Every structure is written in C-alpha cells, then in structure tokens.
Homo-oligomer: A and B are copies of this chain.
Amino acid sequence: MNIISLTVWTLENNCFTVYTALIVCFVGFTIFHKNKLEAHYRSLAEKKFNKTGAKRIPDREFPDDGDDDPELLVPAIPEDTPHIPYKPIKRTDDEILERSREYYELMAQRRTVRSFSKEPIPEEILKNIIKTAGTSPSGAHTEPWTFVVVQDPDVKSAIRNIVEEEEDLNYNKRMSRQWVTDLKPFGTKPEKPYLSDAPALLLVFRQAYSWRDDGKKRMHYYNEISTAIATGFLLAAIQYCGLASLTSTPLNCNSRLRDLLSRPVNERLELLLPVGRPHEDATVPDIQRKPLQEIMVKI
C-alpha cells in the first residue's frame, strides 16, 4: 500500500486506528531517541553560547568516571601514604615584607611581547622553567599537564600555518564583532610571525583524565584550573629568569595541533606560549594595570 492509497483509504474510512498508531509511533520514537535529541539540542545550545565569543567550546571528551564499583575504588596515591613534618625556612615579618616587595617589583616589569629575537635559548633553561611549572598544586595531586617544547623550525612553521588559518576564520567569522573590536588596541591579528621567530614554543596541554594500571580511567579533577595555575608559575619563572613570553589561547586549534604533535585523546591544548628574548624593537601598548583598590577588597 503506497502513501497515496493509504491517504485515500484514510479519507474513506474511519481513521482512528491509523492515527493512533502514528501518534504512538511518534511518541515512541521521541522516547527511544531521547538521548540523541538531548545531544542535538545541547549542541544547538552550545553553538549559540559559543557565538557570544565568550567561552571556549566545552570539553566533550570528559568521561563519566563509572559506576563507583567499590571493588575498584583505589585512591590514585596509596591511602596509607605517610605524612611527614613540613619545616620551610622561617623568615621574620621584615624579611617577608621585603621579599614580597622585591618580587612584586620584578613581576610588575613583565609585559606580553609580540615580537621576539631569534636568538636560541639553552635547553637547560627551558627545562628549569617547565620543572618550575611542575611544582604547581593540582586537584588531588593529579598533575594534569604536558608541556610540549617545539624548537624544530619545520614544526614551528606547521604550527604557525595552522594557527594563522584558524585565526583568520576566528577573526572573520567566529568571534563577535565586539571581541574583534576589543582586541584592536593590542595590535593582535591573524598573522603570527612570532610563532616562527621565537626560539621556542611551549604548548601547554591539560589532561582531562589518565589511565590507571588496571585500565580504569583516572579522573583529573579541576584539570583546567590546575593547568592554568601551573601556567601562572611558568610565566612567573620566565619573567624571573629574564625571558619574555606571549600568553595565547589558540581558539579552535586544539584538534589540529594535538594531531600535529601526536598528543593522546585525553589531552587538550590550553595555551601556546612563545618564549625567548624580546626583539630589539619590540613595543607594547601603553596601558596600565588596575590600581590595588580596584582589585582588592578588605574585610
């Protein structure tokens, strides 16, 4: 019976049964495909959300950590880990005050630089900087970070190509006009010569999870915030030793750069930092930081 004869038959007969069957099918389909519908609407909503240019694409690789089978509840580090005394150097109030002032003054000289000298950096320095980032705290001591150091000119050039292609789309299609306007005074643009000029690129990946010896996934709680805090230590180390950097979050470059650098699926690119000495002719926008009273509230 084709659709036309069905329609004719429907019009000619009492169609109660046919329509009821159709409705039952429709309702059944909706219930049966609830998850797919959910995913569809969620993706629609996210697309709309991302259009504000205000939030990165949410991490879709975040796994459920399973059914909490008590047999498998093994802590990531041994439960009977001993606790030992902690006796750091004791300093007087005066010393602490003097050191806090000295450190502030050094950090206040840091600026984001967009043009770098090509002079190479000894590898030992890069290692110390990354070791410093690795001293950062992390949720349940999961240390959910990988620092990829790129010095090979061909790989730097491949990274630059990917970032420039995506940035061109970001600036012209993906970012809101307000966002592009807000970036104008900083002189940022889709072209990124510093990605080939700077002697080293540090790509900071966060690990959403890892795998335990028994093959079960080990969740990395607060991996995003932990990795960003570690990046704070990294940038502070770069400034302290006398180098410069540029803090960038390459929008929509995650999967292409992850593939290029052969990073595993549990990792996601959080930041890309060129590191080196500022170019002789480097300039920075003449902007100020907020005064203390605008960022501190005393209670």
Contacts and interface: CB of A to CB of B under 8 A. Distances in A.
B97 A125 contact: yes
Interface in A67-106: 68, 70, 72-91, 93, 95-97, 99-101, 103-104
Interface in A250-296: 261, 270-271, 277-278, 281-287, 289-290, 292, 295-296
A111 B99 contact: no
B283 A73 contact: no
Contacts of A97: 122, 124-125, 128, 241
Interface in A33-48: 37-42, 44-46
Contacts of A76: 182
Contacts of A89: 109, 242
A202 B166 CA distance: 38
Question: Which interface residue of A112, A243, A247 has the most chain B CB atoms within 10 A?
Answer: A247
B224 A225 contact: yes
Question: Which interface residue of A83, A221, A247, A261 has the most chain B CB atoms within 10 A?
Answer: A221
A237 B100 contact: yes
A49 B66 contact: no
Nearest to A14: B14
